[in-house]
Amino acid sequence: MIKISAKSIYLSLIVYLILKSSPIHASDYKAYGFIQPETSIFFNGKGRHGQKNTNLSIFGKGTFISYLQNDAAKFSINILGRYDDNDRELRYLDFQKLKYEYFLDDLEFKIGNDIIFWGVNETFNIVDIINQSNLAEELAGTKKLGQTMASLSYSHDYGKFDIYLMSNFQERSFSGKNGRPRLAMEIDKNTVTYESSAKDKKVDFAIRYSTVLDDLDIGLSHFYGNNRTPELKPNSSTLKFDPFYPILSQTGLDIQSTKGSWLYKLESISAKNGNERHLSAAGGIEYTFYGIQNTQSDLGIIIEYIFDDRNNSPLNNDGVIGLRWNKNDIKSTTFLAGLLIDLHGNSNRLQAEFEQRIADDLKLFVDFSLNGNINRGDFTYQFIEDSKMTLKIAKYF
């Protein structure tokens, strides 16, 4: 992640000039993207840290793909960025992908930035570990930052093996002082410490085996490196959090069984974080009713549950019930709603997203994030005043 500055503008300019000057014919590449103004309104007035009750933001993404060397190689760029009116931590550019890949029969070699997703769940993606989460973007952690890596893959009839070496560790990004929602105290970026003596220069390692057996999609993975999730230690003199990144050794398993309209999903990890070992499992079912009431509409129901044997984990005994409505019309109208329930203390939060194409190259999004009953002891109690609605319009190029 690069903070928007003179340096980042130069870097973008250099990439642009390289692309412009490279001898690529018009038919050999694809380029597309979108730019998306957004506005948010918070329902409970000002935030508890004095944050504004409205926000403006502009978000964008660009993708470039080119096949080289008679299609034996591929070069791709996927860059995204945001300029946020309130939160300085949301003024950034990130090369999600900036990679060169070479394909040779059963072998693949890659170098550069990439986004690697592991897992099957809709909500609780506990196996997914390669990329750092961008929590400033979204608390759920599904928004990621590009990870620099070199990887080698081998596929055969019995499955695919991937080996990753990762460098250039990215610290987790959190909302800044004026961000909303934000943690009780700011994150002190000058006091970051690591368990590894190599600190952020540590080369992380991961391996994954994945295969498809009829209706089963199976993945088995292991990761060894700096944990993406820091421990946040309150510092009584600076009144900020000092982040500490332990070494994580995590083995993960993910399985999906697809039987007609039923999807059955399971993710499980066994992890050693610093000196502590913990287990977590998350899974659920998804069922879709197709062509409800003799229309083209589909209605999907998603139920997922997460267990973690650490009592202090924010997600240790939580469930989600989701509905996904797909109108299957010309405007691709969809509505997704999920109710997140902490079964331990009966806290709940509703997340809803509506989207619809309003012109050939314009799409409207309306997102709701609404806090319901939240217990005082719950981790999310600090965000209780941060219920909001966000309106976004994406213009595609």
Partner 1 sequence: MKSYIFSFLIIVICNVHTFAMSDEEQGLKIAKDAYDSTRGYVDSTSEQIMILIDPKGNEVIREISGKNFENMDPNDGDKSLIFFNKPKDVEGTVMLSHTHVNDDDDQWLYLPALGRVKRISSSNKSGAFMGSEISFEDFSGLDYRKYDWKYLGEENYENEICYKLESYPKYKNSGYTKRIGLTDQLLRARKIEYYDRKGDLLKTIYFEDHKLYNESIWFADTFKVVNHQNDNITIYKWKNRLLNTGLDEKDFEKSSLNRLTD
Dist. CA 308–CA 282, nearest whole Å: 9
In angstroms, what is the minimal distance from the CB of 254 to partner 1? 11
Which residues, 325 to 344, sit near partner 1 by CB under 8 A? 328-332
Choices 87-95, 114-122, 274-282, 382-390; region in contact with partner 1 by CB under 8 A: 114-122
Choices 42-50, 175-183, 236-244, 287-295; region in contact with partner 1 by CB under 8 A: 287-295
**Residue of the chain from 258, 273, 317, 351 that contacts partner 1 (CB under 8 A):** 258
- 69 interacts with partner 1 by CB under 8 A: no
Q: Residue 86: is it exposed, middle or buried by C-beta count within 10 angstroms (0-12/13-18/19+)?
A: buried
Number of residues that bind partner 1 (CB under 8 A): 51
- 353 interacts with partner 1 by CB under 8 A: no
Place of tokens 């996904």: 324
Considering beta carbons, is residue 28 or 329 the nearer one to partner 1? 329
Which residues, 31 to 60, sit near partner 1 by CB under 8 A? 32, 34
Q: Which of 165, 313, 162, 179 is nearest to 225 (CA)?
A: 165
- Sign, CA dihedral 130-136-141-143, equals negative
- 290 interacts with partner 1 by CB under 8 A: yes
- 70 interacts with partner 1 by CB under 8 A: no
- 145 interacts with partner 1 by CB under 8 A: no
In angstroms, what is the minimal distance from the CB of 74 to partner 1? 7
- 74 interacts with partner 1 by CB under 8 A: yes
Dist. CA 1–CA 172, nearest whole Å: 10
In angstroms, what is the minimal distance from the CB of 110 to partner 1? 9
In angstroms, what is the minimal distance from the CB of 1 to partner 1? 16
**Residue of the chain from 8, 12, 39, 63 that contacts partner 1 (CB under 8 A):** 63
- 65 interacts with partner 1 by CB under 8 A: yes
Considering beta carbons, is residue 309 or 361 the nearer one to partner 1? 361
Choices 109-117, 184-192, 225-233, 240-248; region in contact with partner 1 by CB under 8 A: 109-117
CB 239 within 8 A of CB 232: no
In angstroms, what is the minimal distance from the CB of 114 to partner 1? 8
Which residues, 158 to 197, sit near partner 1 by CB under 8 A? 159-160
In angstroms, what is the minimal distance from the CB of 329 to partner 1? 6
- 100 interacts with partner 1 by CB under 8 A: no
Considering beta carbons, is residue 285 or 370 the nearer one to partner 1? 285
Which residues, 201 to 240, sit near partner 1 by CB under 8 A? 210, 212, 215, 217
Considering beta carbons, is residue 256 or 387 the nearer one to partner 1? 256
Within a 10 A sphere around the Cβ of 183, how many other Cβ atoms?
17
Choices 1-9, 246-254, 289-297, 374-382; region in contact with partner 1 by CB under 8 A: 289-297
Interface contacts to partner 1, rule CB under 8 A: 32, 34, 63, 65, 74, 76, 78, 96-97, 101, 103, 106, 108, 115-117, 120, 142, 144, 155, 159-160, 210, 212, 215, 217, 256, 258, 260-263, 286, 288, 290-291, 294, 296, 298, 328-332, 357, 360-361, 363, 394, 396-397
